[in-house]
Every structure is written in C-alpha cells, then in structure tokens.
C-alpha cells in the first residue's frame, strides 16, 4: 500500500485501487501551502472528528472529488446540511463493508465539534481490514486501553498515530499504543504543525528504535510504501 502525507493529520492511502483520503485540512495547514488542492484525488474521505484541523477543506474537497465521505453520523448530518450527500454514517462498531475492504470504527479519547461550535458526535479511530493488509488510523486520541481490542479484529501491517502530545499521545505513549495494537510500524502524524505540538523527531525515532519499533515520518507531499 502507498501512503501520501499532506502534513498535520491529512494523508491518503491507496488500497485495492481506491484512494482513501483522511481528514482534509489544507487551508491553514502550514505544511500544505505549496499543495495544489485541485489535484487532490479521493474515492473515499474518512473523517475522524469535527475539529477544524481535520475538516477545514472537507466540504470543498468532497464536492470537487465526488468521493464518498465516511464518518460519525453527526459528521454526515453536518455534511448533508452543507450540500454533500454522498456520505456513509457510522459509529463505534461495525464492521462496515466497502469495495476496498472492511472498516470498524473504534474509540478515540478526544472531543469532537465543528468550527461553528456544532456537535460532531464521537471522535473515532478506524481499523481497516483489506486483502492488501490491515491498518489502523488512530485519529486524535490519547492512549487508551481500548486499543488492546484491536488485535481481536486485525493483524495490522501499519498504524497511523498522533505523536505531537498536548492534544493527543506523545511519542512515548505512541510506543505503548504500538504494543497495545501489536504493530511495530507506526506512521507519526499531528506533530510540529504549531509550537504547541512541536516534538524532537530525532529523539522520537531513537525511542522507537530502542523499543524495537519503526517510526515513519514522511515529509509533507511525500509518498511512502507501507
Ligand atoms: Ni482534534
Ligand atoms: Mn487535531
């Protein structure tokens, strides 16, 4: 599978011929300044929660790409109010079958509201099980015991986790999370966008290596094999 990182927590993953975009945040994303939003492709857009740094460009990109949007029922309700009808509502549970594989929405310890203050349902993580491999999109979350459930459902090939601290896990907690989900290959996101979530990336990578794990930190705009 290929993963393209757009900075902060925005990225896309190619699986079974489909492009799945996560949490489109380009306007106001300091890493995405040189990015041409018109060129962003997506067959699906998964939304982890309503915060602006995950949804700033959601309506815009959904309308441009015609992608099917998947998120909490409240997020889908908000999308419909904003003129996006191609959307699938879900909540903790599943699995839900799509043409690229199955998805289970799992707990994320965070909050979720839109920039206008409206309620956006539960913040979610997603566990994908596909014929090309399984993976976990943690979303914005603290470390939670619920992550220990994930190996019941999937043998993860890689996991995308926030590592910037302050609002989410930091690198040390992401190492614990990696143990909980039984996956040693972690793609780190949600760090260094602003000073409040700045981390020492060299130190984080060394800590992962010392724990026998791999921390992948693609540059914004970079595509990596996962
Ligand atoms: Ni958030
Ligand atoms: Mn966030």
Q: How far apart are CA 187 and CA 201, in angstroms?
A: 12
In the reported structure, the alpha carbon of residue 138 is separated from the centroid of ligand 2 by a whole-number distance in angstroms of 11
Q: What is the pLDDT of residue 33?
A: 86
Q: How far apart are CA 103 and CA 48, in angstroms?
A: 13
Q: What is the pLDDT of residue 34?
A: 84
In the reported structure, the alpha carbon of residue 140 is separated from the centroid of ligand 1 by a whole-number distance in angstroms of 5
In the reported structure, the alpha carbon of residue 131 is separated from the centroid of ligand 1 by a whole-number distance in angstroms of 30
**pLDDT tens per residue, the chain (226 residues)?**
999 999 999 999 999 999 999 999 999 999 988 888 888 999 999 999 999 999 999 999 999 999 999 999 999 999 999 999 999 999 999 999 999 999 999 999 999 999 989 999 999 999 999 999 999 999 999 999 999 999 999 999 999 999 999 999 999 999 999 999 999 999 999 999 999 999 999 999 999 999 999 999 999 999 999 9
pTM of structure: 0.98
In the reported structure, the alpha carbon of residue 34 is separated from the centroid of ligand 1 by a whole-number distance in angstroms of 24
Which ligand lies nearest the alpha carbon of 25? 2
Q: What is the pLDDT of residue 37?
A: 85
In the reported structure, the alpha carbon of residue 188 is separated from the centroid of ligand 2 by a whole-number distance in angstroms of 13
Ordered by where they begin, the domains of the chain are 2-225 (3.60.15.10)
Q: How far apart are CA 120 and CA 171, in angstroms?
A: 27
CB 119 within 8 Å of CB 51: no
In the reported structure, the alpha carbon of residue 209 is separated from the centroid of ligand 1 by a whole-number distance in angstroms of 28
In the reported structure, the alpha carbon of residue 83 is separated from the centroid of ligand 2 by a whole-number distance in angstroms of 24
Q: How far apart are CA 105 and CA 66, in angstroms?
A: 22
Q: How far apart are CA 12 and CA 107, in angstroms?
A: 21
Which ligand lies nearest the alpha carbon of 197? 2
In the reported structure, the alpha carbon of residue 28 is separated from the centroid of ligand 1 by a whole-number distance in angstroms of 15
In the reported structure, the alpha carbon of residue 190 is separated from the centroid of ligand 2 by a whole-number distance in angstroms of 7
Q: Backbone phi, then psi, for 98, in 5-degree steps? A: -120, 175
In the reported structure, the alpha carbon of residue 115 is separated from the centroid of ligand 2 by a whole-number distance in angstroms of 12
Which ligand lies nearest the alpha carbon of 23? 2
Q: What is the pLDDT of residue 154?
A: 98
Which ligand lies nearest the alpha carbon of 114? 1
DSSP the chain: -EEEE-STT-EEEEETTEEEEES---TT-GGGTT--GGG---SEEE-----HHHHTTHHHHHHHH-PEEEEEHHHHHHHHHTT---EEEE-SEEEEEETTEEEEEEE-SS--B-TTS-B----EEEEEEETTEEEEE--S----GGGGGHHHH--EEEEEEE-S-SSS--HHHHHHHHHHTT--EEEEES-SSSGGG---HHHHHHHHHHTT-EEE-PPTT-EEE-
């Amino acid at each position: 599978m290929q993963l393209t990182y757009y900075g902060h927590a925005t990225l896309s993953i190619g699986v079974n011929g489909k492009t799945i975009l996560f949490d489109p945040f380009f306007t106001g994303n300091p890493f995405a300044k040189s990015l041409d939003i018109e060129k962003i492709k997506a067959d699906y857009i998964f939304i982890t929660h309503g915060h602006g740094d995950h949804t700033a460009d959601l309506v815009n990109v959904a309308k441009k790409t015609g992608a099917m949007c998947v998120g909490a029922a409240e997020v889908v309700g908000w999308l419909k109010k904003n003129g996006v009808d191609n959307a699938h509502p879900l909540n903790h549970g599943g699995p839900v079958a799509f043409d690229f594989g199955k998805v289970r929405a799992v707990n994320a310890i965070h909050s979720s509201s839109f920039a206008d203050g409206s309620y956006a349902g539960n913040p979610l993580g997603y566990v994908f099980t596909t014929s090309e491999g399984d993976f976990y999109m943690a979303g914005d979350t603290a470390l939670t015991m619920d992550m220990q459930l994930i190996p019941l459902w999937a043998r993860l090939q890689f996991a995308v986790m926030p590592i910037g601290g302050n609002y989410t896990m930091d690198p040390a907690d992401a190492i614990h999370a990696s143990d909980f989900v039984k996956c040693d290959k972690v793609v780190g996101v949600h760090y260094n966008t602003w000073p409040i979530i700045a981390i020492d990336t060299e130190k984080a990578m060394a800590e992962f290596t010392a724990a026998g794990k791999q921390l992948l930190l693609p540059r914004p705009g970079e595509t990596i094999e996962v």
